[in-house]
Amino acid sequence: MTNLSESATVTDTKAPAFEPSVRYLLRDGELVEYANAKLHVLSTTLKYGVGVFEGFRAYWSDEDQQLYAFRVADHMRRLIDSMRVVEIDGPRDIGVLSEQLLGLVRANGLRGNLHMRAQVFVDSSDGKPEDTGPVTVFMAAIPMGNYFGASGLDVQISSWARLSDRSMPPRVKSIANYQNGRLAMLEARRNGYDAALLLTEDGHVAEGAGYNVFMVRQGRLCTPPATDSILEGITRDSVLHLARNVLGVDVDIRAIDRTELYSADEIFVCGSAAEINHVSSVDRTPIGEGTAGELTRQLQQAYRQAVVGRVAADQQWALPVYPTA
C-alpha cells in the first residue's frame, strides 16, 4: 500500500462526465473511444510542447448529400514538412494519413460542417526536450460552425511581436508556436477586441493569432510574403488562386506597414478554422464602411463554392468523404 504523508491529499481520478459530439478519435490508425484518447502527463509533448498539427475543414452539401473534405493532401503534406523542420519522427505517407482521417469521419457517421485535426506528439515517457520519438498520432473530427461566432472583427495590433525564423520556424504548424498568438489574443480580448494581428520584429504586418491577413488598398489586393514570419497558410494559398484564376484579380505579395491598414479599403483574415472573415476596424479605426467590401464578398462566395467543388474543381481540392453511387 502506498504511504501518504499527513499533509498529502488523494485526488479523485474518476473521469469527469461529459457528452462528446463524436464517439471515436483515431490513435496511430486505430479507433479509440473519445474518453480514452490520452497522453501521459509526463510525455515529452506535455512537458516541452514538442509536437506539430494540422487543422482541416469539411463541408456538407445538401444539394449533393455529400461531405467534402478540403485540401486534405495539402494539409498532410504540410504536416510532414512540419515534422521535418522541427525534427520529429513520424509517418510520411500522405495517402495513408489522408485515408485514416477520412475513415475516422466515416466511422463517426458525421454529416455536417466539421473541423478536423491531425496531431503528432513526441510521446517518450518522461523524456527530454531533444527527443524526436517515439510519436503518437491522434486525429479528430468535430462539428464546427463559425469559428469567431460573428461576421466582422474588431482587431487590435498586438504589443507582442510575431516570432521570427531566427527563433522558431513560423512557417510550420508547431504546437509551441501557438503560445505567441495566444498571448496576442488574450491581450486583445482584455482590451475589448475580437481578434489580434501581430507585427514582425521590424514592424511589418505578419499575421493574426492563427490566421493570415489580406488588405485591399488603392484598388490592389495585398498580403504579406512568407518571409515576413507568417504560416504558409493553405487557405491563404486558396485565396491567392481564387483571386487570380477565378476573379481575375492581381495580388501583390509584399511587406505591409501597420499604418497602411488604417487607410485600407478592405481587410480580411483567413484560415482553415477562420475561413474568410472581414475586419471591421483596426485599433478602433473603421475599415471602409465597417462591412465586408466588394472584393471580400466575392472571395467569400468563391471560397464557399470551392470547398464543395463548385469552383476550382480542376484543383481537386474538395474530396468526397462518402462513396458516390
Any idea which residues carry the catalytic annotation?
173
Beta carbons of 283 and 262 less than 8 angstroms apart: yes
Residue that the C-alpha cell 508547431 belongs to: 174
Contacts of 5 (CB under 8 A, 6+ apart): none
d(CA 116, CA 53): 10
Could you give the CA distance from residue 273 to residue 179 in angstroms, rounded to a whole number? 17
Prior bond to 134 cis, omega within 30? Answer: yes
Residue 92, C-alpha cell as written in the block: 510520411
Angle at 259 between CA 158 and CA 276, to 5 degrees: 65
